[in-house]
A and B are shown apart, each in its own frame.
Chain A
Amino acid sequence: MNTIVRHRWSYLYIAPFCILTAVFVLYPIGASMVYAVFRWDGIGQLSNFVGLDNFREVLRDDIFWGSVRHSFVYTAVLVPVQLVLALVLALVLNDRGLRFATFYRAIFFLPAVMSPAIIGVIFQLLLSNFGQRIGQWAGTDIGLLSDPKTALGVVVVIGIWNTLGYNLVYFLAGLQTIPEELYEAARIDGANRFQLFRHITVPGLAGIGPIIVFLAVIGSLQVFDLVQVLTGGGPFFATSVVNTYIYQKAFGGASSSGVITPDVGLASAASLFYGLLLMVVAGLQAIVMARRARQRNEGGLR
């Protein structure tokens, strides 16, 4: 008790975080666990206990597994492409000799602060008016977002454009932590650009790099708004990702069926299951990161 009193200001400072986390993270998780064992439309009272039926239904639903697959494909394509692009751009923009660097940074970050709803409308208009020619190059003549063979690819490309700015900023922050003296010393020793990159930049980013990858992977696996506004998961679930699946189950509303009856219990079950899946992915990433950090440290000690 004395400890609490002695450190009361510390507790006071972290209280808002704890309260917000409890209300907006822990409570919804706990509530979802309860919802998941009821058949419930989200409006009336919880009365129809169904045990694990919602989980069974989710696991038997081909559309759910299709959505999982699309989420992982989205991530598997977006993350490496976006990170390479972000790193290249960050290297260019980190060049102190570059004029208007701040302006360029703002330009590249701009899509990240745009509303996904606006992005959805803009790209729908762009693709409906000018996308046909691009579509023909891509081997489709029914519209890039209308063709199940190209729709997910288009969403990935727009996703790369949309969120590139965040990773660019992360890499820039990482690059700016590398002492300039290291580059100067290496140049004096005759290192070329590639060697500077290979032996100074890459090790210099070894600390922040895995965190950027971790955030990009988890963020991409949770993609929602962009898909919802661009395609709503269509055509015929060709771009459905897990979060659009959960949203459509939870909130129902207008859809291709006219009106979908909300099924909060099923959505909660899908959400919990996918949450577990993401925890496994995050755990594996954490293990790999820890192992690499240990190897680095051991290497450093040697």
Chain B
Amino acid sequence: MNVVPQSSFTTSFSRRSLLGGGLAALAAAGLGGSLTACSSGSGQSSTGTVTLTHWDWWVSQAPWIEDEMQRFAGTGGGAQIKRTLNQFDQYSNLISLSQRSKTLPDTYMIPFQPNLQTQVSAGWLTPLNDYVDEAWLKSFPKYSFVEGNNMFDGKIYTTPLTGRGPIYQLYINNQVFRDAGLVDPAGAVRIPQTWDEVGQFASTITAKSNGSVYGLGMGNSGGSITNAWLNTLVLPAGTPGGFLGMDYRTGRYAFGEDRNYADVIGLLKEWWDQKLFDPASLSVTDEISRAHFAAGKFGMTVAGSYAIQPWVAEGFTDFSMTTLVGPTAERRGFFYFSPGGKSIGVSSDTEHPQEAAAWVKWWAGPEAGARLSQQYGIDLSVYPENNDPAKIESEPFGQYAALADLTRLQPDPVVRDPSAATVAGFSVTPSIGDIIVGSLTGQVKDTGAALTKLGDESDAQLDQAIADAQEAGSGVTRDTYVFSDWDVTQDYAYDIPEYPAL
């Protein structure tokens, strides 16, 4: 378990001599280029135009970002934006490195690590309060700014950008379904509503093609797609923890206690053993798998909404989607979100906080949000009025927007007690994704025992993380994680202001 550093070993020994030198190797590995991009870009030209440096990791969203950069330079505030696209899995390290060298970009997408609370307490970010007013605040939906999430000590550090939508969908290749005869009397493709139907349809596809087309497929070489399958199948069964496992009704990890986990893994194993999955599913990347899906190699796959835009760009639009496919057609659970939301913030190293804050406001504004969802079809906007399927240009993305109500607000320990943000993250190995793969391949013989062990170890790790946080002064306890009154089919009713005071 990793602990967010708290205190004393903070001499120049640790901070400069160790880190500075140790990171030289990373710089040699090519990370330095990004730092250079940051440090050299920001400034003011001889003509007086401010150039802001901006970092993020978004690839498929690049057309929208570049459009907004141009619009902002033209009309939004006059500043030019110099964007650096970073590699996702190195982004936290890069931001951390740039912070140490005091060359943070003017604005940057908030990395997952260290968490925002740590970034704020270490002084990485400039609060937006001096640059915004109440009208701006109230232009966002309620519960967009929440203490412990994107606010600390009454100061706002970042804003939500994207709206609540299902994180994963079950995509259906319409042509494969039509070829297998999986259409209703009117000729419309049949959409599976239950676990059994997914299995039956997959079996039909595989059988009718004589094995040349598979019912199901995925690309788990990168390791995380089995989690997407798990969430799509286990959440509607009334298991709110999904692949993260935490059930806030009890405040415990439910991998071993909640029967649905074993049932879904057993279901996937059954489909795997029946050879309904493309055999390459565990060895190709998600990207390759999605290309195979578009090419009709299999009929159903699970992916996020990020899959839509690349398919549309490649001319593949003959697909349908659904999500939250459970044991019955009645959904007993949904995709869960916490209030608040994070996107980009203004760094404390900026020499142009006014312009940087203007860029953040532009980026998260309703017009940019409308273009994000309606014109580019990249993601849902935080402003619900932007997500009307009728206004969305891309028909497939409109289908996705229509699923937006399959989400609910969940309780959040950090909203209850912001000091819970100091509880460090941890990982347990083998993870739930590892256990799924191991079950499919037969390497994990006793799935139930593996799930119980995972749940127990996760609970033990959380206990230790809480103890470490308490030692550092946090008032968090295990009870902070328990919301016994939560009805998982409804939005959690928060006892916090809809809008904070500025």
Contacts and interface: CB of A to CB of B under 8 A. Distances in A.
Interface in B181-214: none
B4 A44 contact: yes
Interface string B215-256: 000001111101100000000000000011000000000000
A235 B436 CA distance: 10
Interface string A92-135: 00000000000000000000000000000100110110011001
Contacts of A141: 275, 279
Contacts of B429: 63, 257, 260
A139 interface: no
Interface stretch (A188-196, A197-205, A246-254, A279-287): A246-254
A239 to B, nearest CB: 10
A43 B92 contact: yes
B237 to A, nearest CB: 19
A243 to B, nearest CB: 14
Given A46-B9, A128-B292, A257-B434, A147 B25 contact: no
Interface string B341-382: 000000000000000000000000000000000000000000
B282 interface: yes
A234 B437 contact: yes
Given A128-B288, A141-B275, A258 B433 contact: yes
A143 interface: yes
B245 to A, nearest CB: 10
B9 A47 contact: yes
A219 interface: no
Interface in B1-44: 1-10, 14-15, 18, 21-22, 24-25, 28
B70 interface: no
Nearest to B244: A258
Contacts of B444: 236
Contact of B114 (A31, A44, A124): A44
B77 interface: no
Nearest to A20: B28
Interface string B35-62: 0000000000000000000000000000
A224 B284 CA distance: 18
Contacts of B101: none
A259 interface: yes
A235 B226 contact: no
Given A124-B288, A235-B438, A256 B443 contact: no
B227 A256 contact: yes
Interface string B445-458: 00000000000000
Which of A40, A41, A231 is most buried by chain B, counting CB atoms within 10 A of its CB?
Answer: A41
Which of A28, A39, A234 is most buried by chain B, counting CB atoms within 10 A of its CB?
Answer: A234
A236 B5 contact: no
A49 interface: yes
B490 interface: no
Contacts of A143: 279-283
A132 B440 CA distance: 18
Which of B114, B221, B443 is most buried by chain A, counting CB atoms within 10 A of its CB?
Answer: B221
Interface in B166-185: none
B433 A261 contact: no
Contact of B424 (A41, A42, A151): A41
A223 interface: no
Contact of A252 (B21, B221, B427, B440): B427
Nearest to A63: B429
Given A46-B5, A46-B14, A142-B279, A254 B434 contact: no
Contacts of A132: 279
B4 to A, nearest CB: 6
Contacts of B227: 256-258
B284 A124 contact: yes
A262 B8 CA distance: 21
B85 to A, nearest CB: 17
B407 interface: no
B430 interface: yes
A238 B279 contact: no
A48 interface: yes
Interface in B277-299: 278-285, 288, 292
B93 A257 contact: no
A24 interface: yes
B2 A47 contact: no
B427 A261 contact: yes
Given A49-B9, A231-B221, A256-B227, A43 B96 contact: yes
Given A24-B24, A256-B227, A234 B427 contact: no
B69 interface: no
B441 interface: yes
Nearest to A27: B21
Contact of B283 (A63, A144, A255): A144
A256 B18 contact: no
B468 interface: yes
Nearest to A31: B22
A124 B24 contact: no
Contact of A48 (B427, B436, B468): B468
A37 B106 CA distance: 35
B443 A236 contact: yes
Interface in A32-62: 34-35, 38-49
A241 to B, nearest CB: 16
B426 interface: yes
Contacts of B5: 40, 44-48
A135 B28 CA distance: 40
Contacts of A238: 441, 443
13 contacts: A45-B9, A128-B288, A135-B279, A142-B275, A147-B441, A235-B282, A255-B224, A257-B433, A258-B224, A258-B227, A258-B433, A261-B425, A263-B2
Interface of B: 1-10, 14-15, 18, 21-22, 24-25, 28, 88-90, 92-93, 96, 112-114, 118, 122, 220-224, 226-227, 243-244, 272, 275, 278-285, 288, 292, 424-434, 436-438, 440-444, 468
Interface of A: 23-24, 27-28, 31, 34-35, 38-49, 63, 121, 124-125, 127-128, 131-132, 135, 141-148, 151, 231-232, 234-238, 251-263
Given A47-B10, A231-B283, A232-B221, 12 more contacts: A27-B24, A31-B21, A35-B22, A39-B3, A124-B280, A146-B441, A147-B441, A148-B441, A236-B430, A236-B444, A256-B434, A257-B434
Query: 4 tightest CB-CB pairs across the interface, nearest first?
Result: A257-B431, A256-B433, A145-B283, A128-B280
